Structure 1
Amino acid sequence: VVSRLTYVSRARACVGARTARFLTMPPTPPISTGAHDAKYEPVDVKTLGQGNFGTAKLMRHRASGQLFAIKYIERGDKIDENVKRELVNHRLLDHPNIIRFVEVLLTPTHLAIVMEYAAGGELFDRICGKGRFHEDEARFFFQQLISGLEYCHGHGVAHRDLKLENTLLDGGEVPRLKICDFGYSKHSLIDSEPKSTVGTPAYIAPEVLSRKAYDGKAADVWSCGVTLYVMVVGAYPFEDPADARNFRKTIMRIRGVNYAFPAHIALSEECKDLIKRIFVLDPVHRLNIAGIKQHPWFQRNLPAELQNAVVNDGPDPNQMQNLDELMSIVDEAKHRLGDGAHGAQGGMMGGSADYYPDEDMDDDMGAGLSGDYGAYD
């Protein structure tokens, strides 16, 4: 089990090679920072992450010295409705367990999204280092995940791509979990009803595969169940242990809610019960956030700060970037500058791809290896 998740960690660097038949991979264009150099400076030219939509770099605010993560998305075709939704929805959220959105800037070559920097890295990597968590440690992080997700849902935002790679840690001695990457998010009042198949295969809820309208919040709960299972077991619940990299088989097992708890791993009955109540085919009968918070396993050792939901109206309007300004920057970023700009078609190494479950796909695609899949709404 440990080696499987370690393999996932090692393999992330070569995901692009595995998905070459689905993605066109142009050379990654150099980032021309231009005027925003007056505000932010790079720190050791450190790349925090790379995906289909861009590259994240560690930057320092010149005036305050504070560190930020800046995601650079190439100007042009990649600046689409998903990017706009990510910015509009993320901008509304202000919670200790959610990465803070700061502002969006424009450079000659890229749209730059400035966000809070989480020095502890991904929760995924922490699990890879340990193989799996003891229940107490898993519960500590799961409680924070549910707290952040409850806030998102309370503000009308369904994340739709919750996974270990989209949960960061702040680097403190007692690490605080922070949800990130709202690229596939939808707002119940602003956006259309979710109906497309987006997310990461190992975490996708059965109803998301139906190509029919579904409740994005219930799908998020399913993804939380997958996250909890991986934390306590050290493997993805719907992978076939004998054929873990078979993508199509994973999808079939999700549709049939076909999973098991390994006999060699001692889990409490309360933990198993919570997971069973989340992995319910019909989202109407699936445990919701309120039900999870009332469950005995969740309630055990619940920190005082998480006992009550965070209630606020979002960030202080006086400290938020003006929405009209943000939209103007995004609209301008849809146009490239200069004749030498690289094309924006296709993806970047290790990133997302459109996922159409009924079309010809390579069976030999690990459900946890292949990044995000999205057939855009």
Structure 2
Amino acid sequence: MTEAKLRKGPIMRSSQRTHNTFSFSRLFSPLASSEVGLFGSDMEERYEALKDLGSGNFGVARLAKDKNTGELVAIKYIERGKKIDENVQREIVNHRSLRHPNIIRFKEVFLTPTHLAIVLEYAAGGELFERICNAGRLSEDEARFFFQQLISGVSYCHSMQICHRDLKLENTLLDGNPAPRLKICDFGFSKSALLHSQPKSTVGTPAYIAPEVLSRKEYDGKIADVWSCGVTLYVMLVGAYPFEDPEDPKNFRKSIGRIMSVQYSIPDYVRVSTECRHLLSRIFVANPAKRITISEIKQHIWFRKNLPREIIETERRGYEETRKDQASQSVEEIMRIVQEARTPGLKAKTGEQAGTGSSDAVHGDTDEANEEVVSDGDFAKYLGLNII
């Protein structure tokens, strides 16, 4: 069998409206030198801008230092006005409620004359995806080390009644420690069982998406997250996606067929233990009711091996400490700031481009059926979805 080369897959969309997600894991291109004035007076007092991190379709980002603590932070900017919709608010509110060692820390939001600024923990180690690309694939022990952290973070999200819905290597960052700590990021498609309806939109990244999500019916976002975690584990071990045809990896019709029929295999050139193979076989189950749960994964013999003490301690505390460590801003204050950010900024009022990215209109409708992300044309056509 020919070794497949790992590549980033497209992201699915399910409507004609642009979803305002912006991932720090994709910040590599430099900003134009004309990008100025993102700091307001309040931010200038608190943070010192250090350098540009990059740009995305709906925002720009900068590395900054907290003048009070010396801590490095990443500040994400979304242009004020029509790009600030209910989905931005939902992403911020959901992320704000999560305080866990394996989740990028939300800190606060500010309003500048031109942008809504979201202050987040800075992960100096980059994407886990890039680590695998550089290595080709990881050893089973190293893959387990990162998978244990991923499951710990996802388990916490679920305990807070939040499903992520776009778990993938590109949305897992690493801190700068010699033994890197994994950090889940990008909650743009997350849903809270306490605040939102049962998921039914086809959102996510095709290579990681669960069979039931493709059905366009209501599904359990937590169980769908389990499938995505399984894909992440497989890619770490093999260096390729489990449901792509190695001979025709860009054929999304084949990929969807293989997902629906759970057609995958571990190549002969990859050595994977019997216990790990068993865990993957329990994750990759088409019927979500029969799929292994996060709680069951945490008790699996393969998962329990060499479990880091930090994870054991976090589990033992029952997340009490993380729940007490709440964000500095209340939900009400955040919602007020987001609402004010819907008023166009100074540059936008004068017709100038205040940030990089698309200038397409964004509507504030939050109906599940109207969610969207960037899509691949062939994949979208196959599913009967709209295409950019």
2: CA distance, partners of 1:244 / 1:330: 41
Match of 2:332 in 1: 324
Corresponding residue to 2:360 among 345, 350, 374? 345
Matched, 1:336 2:347: no
Corresponding residue to 2:160 among 155, 158, 162? 155
1: CA distance, partners of 2:283 / 2:325: 36
Q: CA deviation at 1:341?
A: 3.9
TM-score, normalisation: structure 2: 0.82
Please give the per-residue CA displacement for 1:291-347, whole angstroms capped at 9, x wherever unaligned.
101111111111222235242275547752122111011111122122224474179
Match of 1:367 in 2: none
Matched, 1:70 2:75: yes
Which amino acid in structure 2 is aligned with residue 44 of structure 1?
Answer: K
Q: Within 5 Å, give how 1:218-233 maps onto structure 2.
A: 218-233=223-238
Q: Is the CA contact (8 Å cut-off) linking 1:69 and 1:115 kept in structure 2?
A: yes
RMSD in angstroms over aligned alpha carbons? 3.0
Q: 1:76 and 1:248, CA in 2 relative to 1: closer, same or farther beyond 3 A?
A: farther
2: CA distance, partners of 1:55 / 1:199: 22
Task: Name the SS for the 2:48 alignment partner.
Answer: strand
Unpaired runs of 5+ in structure 2?
A: 12-16, 19-30, 363-371
Q: Percent identity?
A: 56
**Comparing 304-313 with 229-238, which one deviates more in the overlay?**
304-313
Q: Within 5 Å, give how 1:36-75 maps onto structure 2.
A: 36-47=43-54, 50-75=55-80
1: CA distance, partners of 2:162 / 2:302: 26
Match of 1:360 in 2: 381
TM-score, normalisation: structure 1: 0.84
Q: Is the CA contact (8 Å cut-off) linking 1:54 and 1:73 kept in structure 2?
A: yes
1: CA distance, partners of 2:61 / 2:164: 20
2: CA distance, partners of 1:301 / 1:65: 34
2: CA distance, partners of 1:80 / 1:355: 24
Match of 1:276 in 2: 281
Task: Name the SS for the 1:199 alignment partner.
Answer: coil
Q: Is the CA contact (8 Å cut-off) linking 1:204 and 1:222 kept in structure 2?
A: yes
Q: 1:254 and 1:77, CA in 2 relative to 1: closer, same or farther beyond 3 A?
A: farther
Q: Is the CA contact (8 Å cut-off) linking 2:262 and 2:285 kept in structure 1?
A: yes
Q: Is the CA contact (8 Å cut-off) linking 1:205 and 1:223 kept in structure 2?
A: yes
Number of matched residues? 347
Please give the per-residue CA displacement for 1:192-213, whole angstroms capped at 9, x wherever unaligned.
1111011111111111111110
Q: 1:78 and 1:155, CA in 2 relative to 1: closer, same or farther beyond 3 A?
A: same
Please give the per-residue CA displacement for 1:94-127, whole angstroms capped at 9, x wherever unaligned.
1111111100111222211101111111111110
Unpaired runs of 5+ in structure 1?
A: 17-21, 364-372
Task: Name the SS for the 2:320 alignment partner.
Answer: coil
Match of 2:109 in 1: 104
2: CA distance, partners of 1:70 / 1:287: 37
Q: Is the CA contact (8 Å cut-off) linking 1:145 and 1:177 kept in structure 2?
A: yes
Task: Name the SS for the 1:41 alignment partner.
Answer: strand
Q: CA deviation at 1:56?
A: 2.8
Which amino acid in structure 1 is aligned with residue 144 of structure 2?
Answer: R
Matched, 1:85 2:95: no
Which amino acid in structure 2 is aligned with residue 353 of structure 1?
Answer: V
**Comparing 353-362 with 143-152, which one deviates more in the overlay?**
353-362
Task: Name the SS for the 1:198 alignment partner.
Answer: coil
Match of 1:201 in 2: 206
**Structure 1 consecutive aligned stretches of length 4 or more whose deviation exceeds 6 Å:** 355-358
